[in-house]
Amino acid sequence: MSSAIPVIVPVITIDGPSASGKGTVAQLVAARLGFHYLDSGALYRIVAFATLQKNIAWNNAQGVSECAKTLNIEFVNEQVFLNGQEVSNEIRTEAIGKGASQVAVHPPLRAALIDMQHAFCKAPGLVADGRDMGTVIFPKALLKVFLTATTATRAKRRYQQLLDKGQPANYEHILQDLQERDARDQSRASAPLVMADDAILLETDNLGISAAVDTILRNYQHKICK
Ligand code: DC
């Protein structure tokens, strides 16, 4: 009788605050390794977007988590679909980002999204980006990275991103929003944004995207070969 050999799926987690560059870096690392990519923030953004459409208040823990359970969420390449409708741009606004941070404080919502996140863990591997990837969702990840930068650097980046997209931007408002979002994400009782004890710290103030990607790939190589 032959017993099936379990497939071992390597996971790299990249956590950090908003606008730290983790999304871009995580996608590039996933592409270089041919791994799947999980943008966990998109899930919280979709919930904020869907509840706003249904007039469910973001501070209504039960309403928000019940609504999340009914959503059909699909990621196709870089596009995000909610119940068959593309919402990639709609979920990327500053208002929805703020809403995502507000709905994310609710433990029943976080619990409702766990299986969906674990389902991304498929061969040949996964790069998962978010706030609690290395601490809660994939605590046994092979490599954990905490990517960060000062609030001023992140606010400047966000400001430039909005200008590049032709959207209105006010640096002072962006800075204040980031500070509020950091405070909420770091202080919530359930799965707060903290660096895992076994994560490597990458500060990107003076580190370009490709240098960050190379550093992560070097650390990954080190993990699998040594
Ligand atoms: O990474 P992002 O900016 O798209 O995330 C939006 C919000 O979602 C963030 O402010 C907090 C929440 N979030 C979370 O609580 N846990 C995650 N793993 C990812 C995002």
Whose C-alpha lies nearest to ligand 1, atom 13? 41
Amino acid (one-letter) located at 48: A
* pLDDT of the chain, 226 residues: tens digit per residue: 557 877 889 999 999 999 999 999 999 999 999 999 999 999 999 999 999 999 999 999 999 999 999 999 999 988 999 999 999 999 998 899 999 999 999 999 999 999 999 999 999 999 999 999 999 999 999 999 999 999 999 999 999 988 998 888 899 999 999 999 999 999 999 999 999 999 999 999 999 999 999 999 999 999 998 7
> Rounded CA gap, 202 and 16, in Å?
10
On whether the CB atoms of residues 26 and 145 are closer than 8 A, the answer is no
Residue pointed to by tokens 């995502």: 100
Which sequence spans correspond to the domains of the chain?
A: 11-224
Return the best residue to mutate from 25, 40, 114 for the ligand 1 pocket (most ligand atoms within 8 A of CB). Answer: 40
Nearest ligand 1 atom to the CA of 129 is 18
On whether the CB atoms of residues 144 and 198 are closer than 8 A, the answer is yes
Kindly write down the DSSP assignment for every residue of 172-204, as one continuous string. Answer: HHHHHHHHHHHHHHHH-SSS-S---TTPEEEE-
Amino acid (one-letter) located at 187: S
Ligand 1 pocket check for 134: Cβ under 6 Å: no
Q: Is the peptide bond preceding residue 124 cis, with omega within 30 degrees of 0?
A: yes
Q: Nearest 5°: phi and psi at 76?
A: -125, 110
> Rounded CA gap, 100 and 146, in Å?
20
CA 135 to ligand 1 centroid distance, Å: 14
Residues 6+ apart with CB under 8 A from 114: 137
Ligand 1 pocket check for 131: Cβ under 6 Å: yes
> Rounded CA gap, 198 and 202, in Å?
13
Homologous superfamily of the 11-224 domain (CATH): P-loop containing nucleotide triphosphate hydrolases (3.40.50.300)
* CA R_g for the chain: 17
Ligand 1 pocket check for 104: Cβ under 6 Å: yes
CB count within 10 Å of CB 22 equals 27
